Chains A and B, each alone.
Chain A
């Protein structure tokens, strides 16, 4: 995609195509010979896994759309028909529903990986920001998708999320009405959510293209966070990383299949098997697990507008990370102070998720969870806006290795790679 091309068309037909549409050249330079740092560890497998997840969601989604009916009277029953009547409908729907969870599991690991190894730092800021955009599109797509079965959680999740826009001063209610196409969530809302749920994955696919393009300009970051200095620091992407990614993809798919075949509803909520009832809110409404930390933040703030600002701010904050991190060193492996704050941050995110899953008035060890969520929310923001800029200035990083090759192969790295 960038840099000098190593593609060398041999046959006449390859030359003919290359001089007209250099697609084989693009594929060759992107996938086959792309020089990749030789020290990428297991945390670098998720780019490939995420691409796989997107493909699975698109394929199963297109098939489900052949049987699903986006109408408030028929949606719930059409999903039941998919589960009972359509050939392999149960399988395809469970793959799609659990696929969303797997997608988010992988994207969260991918994001924490980037945070830990400083993959957002120059010259990779745009890769990170495009990644945040992909994440935003994913949450929107997942939200629209969750509404479609038109169960109780679908309906009330849609109600709560769309009502957040009504917190906007002056025009809020008009925005909510515009989103609904009515004065409450209903037929018009369901139809447009289906339309957008079908559209967004293709937008995501396009933005993923940009993400990979931007990645291929500076190349991969790596666990050491130091730049590639010589060809001995790298390996061609194929076969080294294609094989590694394929192996871990099989492991990941095994976990995925475990959910699909043995616990297909484990990550869902039983209330969504009740048809939507606009007159009765379930006693507890919770979003899907991957949105729980943000839900906890929303509930931690006892003010409507501020709560929404905090929740949206938590995601928008991610965009500024490349400039909030003042450290000269990328990888937390060489940042003894930041490493501790990072793990505390990871634990805080899990705590927020736990708080979001409990009822409003729940307590743990006698402490109201809403206060736990408040402190955790405070840490979430402090991590980015205070700790990150300050730690980078006061911390003394450990000594960086001279090169990737030296770190991996020892001092014998001076000799040519095998």
Chain B
């Protein structure tokens, strides 16, 4: 056959491999838009910030707001709750990291690195196990053993700093980036 180059293969082999490779590139190029269309659309990505009025929240009370489609916990903690959050040895926690969007990833989960002002705890209220909204614990209606939250779906218990203490959830409830605009207003996101 014309173009034979010995054991190194023929031009026909080259054409065969080259067309196969181009075919694979073509399939991938067609497949990618069909896969990527399922990712969040531009509208979903265009997430705003939320301004929240926290004036009406009483000590010991939690109010749930909606932020970027997710529940946002704003809890005004009592001195006892703050004290119990501070009384924990960070290194003994199942998840020792702060999970605070405003702080570096390796920050330790001290209560100070989870709350801008000790009285106010702001958290994304999504259980880090499978996404349920954990139920808040109050002295009247305790939820779990740690005074914070209990996820009724699969039994994950969080403390008064929103840190995971028991159950299948792998990490602490995340803290979003937020700032105090005044004593009674916060801006989240």
Contact = CB atoms under 8 A, between A and B. Distances in A.
B130 A281 contact: no
Nearest to B132: A281
Interface residues of B, number: 32
B contact patch SS: loop
B39 A181 contact: yes
A359 B38 contact: no
Interface stretch (B5-13, B77-85, B162-170, B179-187): B162-170
Given A163-B129, A164-B130, A183-B69, A177 B154 contact: no
B70 interface: yes
Contacts of A156: 132, 153
A182 B168 contact: no
B93 interface: no
B168 A177 contact: no
- By CB atoms of chain B within 10 A, which of A280, A281, A284 has the most? A281
Nearest to B64: A279
Contact of B40 (A183, A281, A285): A183
Given A181-B39, A181-B41, A280 B168 contact: no
Interface in B27-70: 35, 38-41, 44, 47, 64, 66, 68-70
- Which of A162, A285, A304 lies at the interface centre, i.e. has the most chain B CB atoms within 10 A of its CB? A304
B44 A188 contact: yes
Contacts of A188: 40-41, 44
Contact of B133 (A280, A298, A301): A280
B155 A299 contact: yes
Contacts of B169: 304
Given A183-B44, A281-B153, 5 more contacts: A160-B132, A183-B70, A279-B133, A285-B153, A361-B155
25 contacts: A159-B130, A159-B131, A159-B132, A160-B131, A162-B131, A166-B131, A178-B35, A178-B39, A181-B39, A181-B41, A182-B40, A182-B69, A183-B44, A183-B70, A184-B70, A278-B66, A278-B69, A279-B66, A280-B133, A281-B153, A283-B135, A285-B152, A298-B154, A302-B168, A360-B154
Nearest to B126: A184
Nearest to A185: B131
A301 B70 CA distance: 27
Nearest to A182: B44
A183 B68 contact: yes
A179 interface: yes
A156 B39 CA distance: 21
A285 B134 CA distance: 12
A303 interface: yes
Nearest to B152: A283
A231 to B, nearest CB: 50
A160 B168 CA distance: 13
A304 B170 contact: yes
Contacts of A166: 131
A307 interface: yes
A20 to B, nearest CB: 34
Interface string A292-312: 000000110111110100000
Interface in B61-110: 64, 66, 68-71
A177 B131 CA distance: 12
Contacts of A279: 64, 66, 71, 125, 133
A162 B128 CA distance: 13
Contacts of B128: 304
Given A178-B38, A304-B168, A359 B152 contact: yes
Contacts of A177: 39-40
A373 B152 CA distance: 17
B133 A299 contact: no
A186 interface: yes
B131 A304 contact: no
Contacts of B40: 177, 180-183, 188
B155 A281 contact: no
A163 to B, nearest CB: 4
Contacts of A285: 132, 152-153
